[in-house]
Structure 1
Amino acid sequence: MTTQFPPTDLIDSGKSPLADADHDPVRIADTLRSSPHITFVAPAAPGDETVRFRDADGTGYQLALTTVDPAPEAKRVAYPWDAVAAAIGNHPHFIRAALDQPPFGPLNLDTITALTRTGNKYTLTLTATHHPCLDQEHAHRAEDIAYAADKLLTGDPSDSERATAELLSYMAATWDTQDQPLRQRAQDLARALRTR
Structure 2
Amino acid sequence: MLRSQRLSLRHSQSTTPHHTLIIMYFAIAAVVLAALSQVAQATPLSPIATRVEPVRQAVTTAAKFPVHDLGSVAAHPNVTLPSGAVHSDVAGGAGAILLLCPSVNCLSCFAFDLGTLAITNECLIDQSSTFASAAISQPSNAGLPFEVLIGPAGCLSFAQIPAVNECFNVNPAPFADFAILT
TM-score (normalizing by structure 2): 0.20
Whichever of the two has the greater Rg, that structure is: 2
Select the structure with the greater relative contact order (CA < 8 A; seq sep ≥ 6).
2
**Between Structure 1 and Structure 2, which shows a larger proportion of helix residues?**
1
TM-score (normalizing by structure 1): 0.19
**Between Structure 1 and Structure 2, which shows a larger proportion of strand residues?**
2
